[in-house]
Amino acid sequence: MTESRAEIVPRFDPFELQDTILGDIRDPFPALAAARRRGGMQAGPPDLFDDDSEIDIAPGAPVFTAYSHDAVTAVLRDPDAFSSSILADILGRTILQMGGDEHRRHRALVSHAFRTKALARWERDLMGLVVDELIDQFVDSGRAELVRDLTFDFPVQVIARILGLPRRDYPMFQRRSIEMLSILVNPDRGKAAARALDEYFAGVLENRRRQPSDDLISDLSVTEVDGHTLSDDEIFAFLRLLLPAGVETTYRSSGNLLYALLTHPDQLRAVAADRSLVTPAIEEGLRWEPPILFLIRNAIRDAEVCGTTVPDRAIVNVCIGAANRDESRYDDPDRFDVLRQSRQHVTFGWGPHMCIGMHLARMETTVALNAVLDRLPDLRLDPAFEPPFVQGTAFRSPPALHVRFG
Ligand code: HEM
């Protein structure tokens, strides 16, 4: 899977597809904190949505929102009361919508593909190569826009290489992934993109079955746990989920981390000087500004959470962003502080559906941040541009990060 650096990847401009990001809220945290203080679990949608941006995924169903760390983790660890099957309409049926034995079996099969040995090989053979190649393109200029030039391309290229896709297909893969994510705002385009990706993966899978290689798709096609293997449709569904789950989240979380460090230059300098702070900085970035503000569940029976009864059929917004800043768990929770005493955040979820890719995401971010600190000395915001900001309601990250270095 080693590739020559000389091959040119035709660029796809991510910002052509402007309507894929739901909501443009810059600072949701004061409203979420006020709501959390009124009660950990409450009837009603999150206070944040204005009438236009809220999407009613189950018309007529009662709506609840979990704000506190206790309420959020209680919902996520109880799949017998709170299911994620509601998302099947959006993503098709994937591991996220499964429950019980089916979920355990499926999770064991796909987790096998993300085993420690595979991760170590990906770190060694491809992550450093991808990040260096991206940085090569702007390092001599002394300035960059880190979202377009680095964080947007990095995870999609890592996943494309893990899947063993040919380089000429990267821009198509990236475009279709983003179009698919816009399914809530543009259903026709989203569904067409999902179909196109399935057709594309069908061809790739057929090739891999004929001629297995050392990539994830070959691995998924042969892995067996307790006599079970994955069907072709299950493999397509998993590959389809990898894009929103593995690419969108990681690109946004690394942008959020760089935003946090660039707007706290003393902490950026501390991390650059002492690389044992890279891991705590990544965890603090994930806690402080998670790329996904909400998860969603549907109640499948009546349940009580933090003193509130949530009725069967209710839709529950699970507010990751509010739980990560719960003052009963974190001191001075709105402060970004890489030296904070670490306590597990809920950015990767909780309970049986907790993120399968979290070790991969952490590894990618570690490789990217170390490369940035090694190759872009004296990194700072470019004063010629407006100060950066994070925006978004469903997905959050900075639209741009203009920097200078050297
Ligand atoms: C910073 C980056 C990431 C974040 C914040 C993140 C977050 C999450 C969250 C919150 C969940 C639980 C969803 C729920 O319970 O409804 C989840 C599940 C999942 N994630 Fe991630 N993720 C990240 C990166 C990745 C990567 C890199 C991959 C794979 C390449 C991945 C694959 C998955 C899969 C397959 C699931 C479903 C697990 C299941 O249903 O059992 N994620 N992720």
Question: Given the DSSP bridges, would you call strands 41-43 and 63-66 parallel, antiparallel or unpaired?
Answer: antiparallel
| Cβ-proximal residues to 377 (8 Å cutoff; 6+ apart), any chain | 272, 405, 406
Alpha carbon of 104 to those of 90, 111, 346, 352: distances in Å?
Answer: 22, 10, 21, 8
**95 Cβ inside 6 Å of ligand 1:** yes
Alpha carbon of 396 to those of 47, 138, 155, 249, 251: distances in Å?
Answer: 17, 25, 16, 9, 10
Average pLDDT over residues 47-71: 78
Give me the pLDDT at residue 19, please. Answer: 53
Using CA atoms of 108, 111, 117, 122 in order, give the dihedral in degrees to the nearest 10. 160
Please report how many Cα atoms fall inside a 13 Å half-sphere around the Cα of residue 192, on the Cβ side: 6
Please report how many Cα atoms fall inside a 13 Å half-sphere around the Cα of residue 286, on the Cβ side: 21
Residue 16: which pLDDT band, with cuts at 50, 70 and 90?
A: low
Ligand 1 atom 6 nearest Cα: 348
Average pLDDT over residues 301-321: 97
Sole residue written with tokens 């946090």 = 260
Q: Is 58 exposed, middle or buried (0-12, 13-18, 19+ CB in 10 A)?
A: middle
**285 Cβ inside 6 Å of ligand 1:** no
Residue 147: which pLDDT band, with cuts at 50, 70 and 90?
A: very high
**253 Cβ inside 6 Å of ligand 1:** yes
Q: Is the pLDDT of residue 51 over 50?
A: no
- Contact (CB, 8 A) for 319 and 46: yes
Ligand 1 atom 19 nearest Cα: 355
Question: Given the DSSP bridges, would you call strands 315-319 and 63-66 parallel, antiparallel or unpaired?
Answer: parallel
Q: Is the pLDDT of residue 52 over 80?
A: no
Ligand 1 atom 30 nearest Cα: 246
Spatial separation of the C-alpha atoms in residues 178 and 22, rounded to whole Å? 13
Give me the pLDDT at residue 11, please. Answer: 54
Atom of ligand 1 nearest to the CA of 96: 40
Mutation pick for ligand 1 pocket among 355, 356, 369 (CB with most ligand atoms within 8 Å): 355
Spatial separation of the C-alpha atoms in residues 155 and 174, rounded to whole Å? 10
**291 Cβ inside 6 Å of ligand 1:** yes
**356 Cβ inside 6 Å of ligand 1:** yes
Q: Which of 199-213, 233-247, 371-385 has the highest mean pLDDT?
A: 371-385
| Token code pair at residue 341 | 């005493």
Please report how many Cα atoms fall inside a 13 Å half-sphere around the Cα of residue 276, on the Cβ side: 1
Give me the pLDDT at residue 106, please. Answer: 87
